[in-house]
């Protein structure tokens, strides 16, 4: 690995996402006006019905910091780590470094975002270090639920920083690529100033299961059904897709991808060599139309109940080509992400109504996590022996438990730091201290563009409290009220004029306007503000509601 010559410069780490939620992962490491970014991911909202389906990290600080961004370095191909890259690259220009599989999924993301140019993508490989400004970065092989995942050992002027990425320690990985214990131990012996480690599964005792344990379960389930076999998983989970394909081939079934993203992932799997299957194992739906149900296995996107996904359309019996029938078997081979339970249960119920048998994690071991449990997290700490420790990737409860786990593993409590989005720390000569907070948060990604997070707040108000439009007509000559305010309600009370509350609210607003002594002019902003306050005050006092109020003032 290239040497870093300075030994006294300060290095600062700024957390911009991923340290109070599952998703939005984005971190900056800066030194002497230059920086590298680690990951740039999305997060799926638990309120998709309000149009808040996807969030991206708030990037204002990056735009205003005047830092030179030398690299965006990616740990793996999941959307919560790469999905916000198009939003980032519209604001800054920097090369993107990732392993072969990760960059294949990045290319897909930029094509789907209709980006006007493909960014500067640079392939990396485990144990092959590269330079990025004042930093030297070495990828280290880890096992996870998507292939080609890496941790990062970053040599900085203030010491070695290790970022774990998402990881588990899988003793029997599907692709034979093992977690690189040896390299972590070598770095630990050399001296690691700071370990940043994945906290997702810290609440789970013991060790996570091996991905290879899923294959016999899939085989038993597929063997027992004479109808169609469906399995839904994340489209980026190439190891899971590979195991379904291998089982299907053994049992004489052909695999049909359902959903655009799933079909594209299969294509990327062939392109990167992760799905090296015999010809004819995967077929198009047109070919499947001529085969018996017992000869078919479908892999579908939508395991989290996403509204427009293939699985949701199957459950609604609205898929244009495929229908679930009596005797079919559907496997949801993923964890139910918190917040998605209601949508997933709705899909499961509808599949049962169509006559299918539905299997998920609560019923059978059809999923193993890609994240390390407590014993694996402790093992990484023992391998690395860091001077300082920061838990990353998780909600606050995950971070707090990982903080305690690190102390129990021997890291001094004074050297463990519990951070949230917007927090930052600095390192100089191996000593870590807290520094100022920076702007961090989330923005709504709507229609491919990012917008104000207040948008979802407004939609939440509309769903809970409704809206009132207040129309006031005043005389341009005298400034007197000619008519109104007339109130029109949607989602609050009956809006056809028969509600006694509408009449009372109108009279009260008129009285308040007269008492306020404001100039009655259409261009007077205080007039509209008083209308909004008066309407909200009435409905808050009378009904306990605070509707969205839209004032309209006209002059005649």
**Active site (catalytic) residues:** 198, 371
Element (H, E) at 257: strand 254-258
* Main-chain dihedrals φ then ψ at residue 43, nearest 5 degrees: -140, 140
SS3 347: helix
CA dihedral 217, 218, 222, 228 (to 10 degrees): 140
My answer on whether omega of the bond before 485 falls inside 30° of 0, hence cis, is yes
SS3 507: helix
| Residue 41 DSSP class | -
Compute the half-sphere exposure of residue 347: CA atoms within 13 Å on the CB side of its CA.
28
Rounded to whole angstroms, the Cα distance separating 297 from 330 reads 10
Rounded to whole angstroms, the Cα distance separating 367 from 343 reads 19
SS3 425: strand
Beta bridge partners of 98: 123
Rounded to whole angstroms, the Cα distance separating 119 from 284 reads 32
Task: Kindly give, in sequence order, each residue whose CB lies less than 8 Å from that of residue 133, ignoring residues fewer than 6 positions away.
Answer: 31, 34, 35, 36, 68, 70, 71
Task: Kindly give, in sequence order, each residue whose CB lies less than 8 Å from that of residue 208, ignoring residues fewer than 6 positions away.
Answer: 168, 169, 170, 201, 368, 369, 370, 371, 372, 373, 376
Pick from 369, 408, 411: nearest CA to 390:
411
Let me know: does 250 contact 347? Beta carbons within 8 Å. Answer: no
Rounded to whole angstroms, the Cα distance separating 82 from 75 reads 9
Strands of the 68-73 sheet, one edge to the other: 121-123, 96-98, 68-73, 34-38, 26-31, 11-17, 424-428, 431-435
SS3 546: coil
Tokens, residue 501: 């509350």
Rounded to whole angstroms, the Cα distance separating 86 from 42 reads 11
Let me know: does 357 contact 225? Beta carbons within 8 Å. Answer: yes
Tokens, residue 42: 């999305």
Tokens, residue 141: 């092989």
Element (H, E) at 262: helix 260-272
């Amino acid at each position: 690995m290239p040497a870093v010559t300075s030994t006294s410069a300060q290095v600062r780490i700024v957390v911009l996402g991923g340290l109070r939620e599952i998703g939005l992962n984005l971190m900056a490491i800066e030194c002497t006006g230059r920086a590298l970014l680690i990951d740039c991911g999305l997060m799926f909202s638990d309120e998709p019905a309000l149009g808040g389906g996807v969030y991206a990290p708030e990037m204002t600080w990056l735009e205003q910091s005047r830092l030179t961004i030398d690299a965006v370095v990616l740990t793996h191909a999941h959307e919560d780590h790469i999905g916000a890259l198009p939003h980032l690259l519209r604001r800054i220009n920097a090369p993107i470094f990732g392993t072969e599989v990760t960059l294949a999924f990045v290319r897909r993301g930029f094509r789907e975002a209709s980006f006007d140019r493909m960014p500067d993508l640079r392939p990396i490989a485990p144990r092959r270090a590269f330079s990025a400004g004042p930093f030297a970065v070495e990828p280290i092989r880890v096992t996870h639920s998507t292939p080609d995942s890496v941790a990062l050992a970053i040599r900085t002027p203030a010491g070695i920083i290790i970022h774990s990425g998402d990881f588990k320690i899988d003793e029997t990985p599907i692709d034979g690529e093992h977690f690189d214990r040896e390299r972590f131990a070598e770095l630990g012996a050399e001296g690691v100033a700071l370990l940043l480690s994945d906290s997702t599964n810290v609440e789970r005792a013991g060790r996570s299961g091996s991905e290879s344990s899923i294959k016999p379960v899939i085989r038993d389930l597929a063997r027992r059904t004479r109808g169609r076999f469906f399995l839904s998983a994340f489209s980026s989970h190439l190891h899971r897709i590979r195991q379904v394909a291998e089982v299907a081939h053994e049992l004489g079934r052909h695999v049909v991808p359902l959903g655009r993203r799933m079909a594209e992932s299969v294509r990327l799997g062939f392109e990167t060599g992760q799905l090296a299957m015999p010809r004819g194992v995967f077929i198009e739906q047109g070919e499947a139309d001529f085969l018996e149900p017992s000869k078919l296995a479908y892999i579908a996107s939508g395991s989290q109940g996403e509204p427009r996904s293939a699985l949701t359309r199957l459950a609604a019996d609205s898929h244009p080509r495929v229908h679930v029938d009596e005797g079919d078997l559907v496997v949801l081979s993923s964890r139910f992400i918190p917040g998605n339970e209601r949508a997933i249960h709705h899909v499961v119920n509808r599949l049962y109504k169509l006559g299918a048998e539905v299997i998920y994690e609560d019923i059978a071991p059809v999923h193993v996590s890609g994240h390390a449990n407590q014993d694996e997290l402790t093992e990484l700490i023992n391998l690395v022996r860091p001077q300082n420790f920061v838990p990353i990737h998780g909600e606050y409860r995950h971070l707090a438990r990982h903080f305690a786990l690190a102390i129990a593993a021997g890291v001094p409590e004074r050297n463990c730091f519990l951070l949230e989005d917007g927090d930052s720390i600095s390192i100089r000569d191996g000593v870590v201290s807290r520094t100022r907070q920076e702007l961090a948060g989330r923005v709504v990604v709507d229609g491919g563009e990012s917008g104000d997070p207040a948008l979802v707040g407004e939609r939440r108000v509309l769903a809970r409290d409704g809206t009132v439009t207040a129309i006031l007509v005043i005389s341009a000559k005298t400034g007197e009220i000619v008519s109104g305010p007339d109130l029109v309600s949607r989602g609050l009370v009956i809006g056809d004029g028969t509600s006694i509350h509408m009449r009372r609210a109108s009279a009260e607003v008129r009285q308040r306007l007269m008492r306020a002594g404001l100039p009655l002019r259409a261009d007077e902003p205080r007039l509209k503000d008083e209308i909004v306050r008066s309407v909200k005050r009435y409905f808050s006092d009378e009904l306990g509601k605070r509707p969205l109020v839209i004032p309209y003032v006209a002059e005649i």
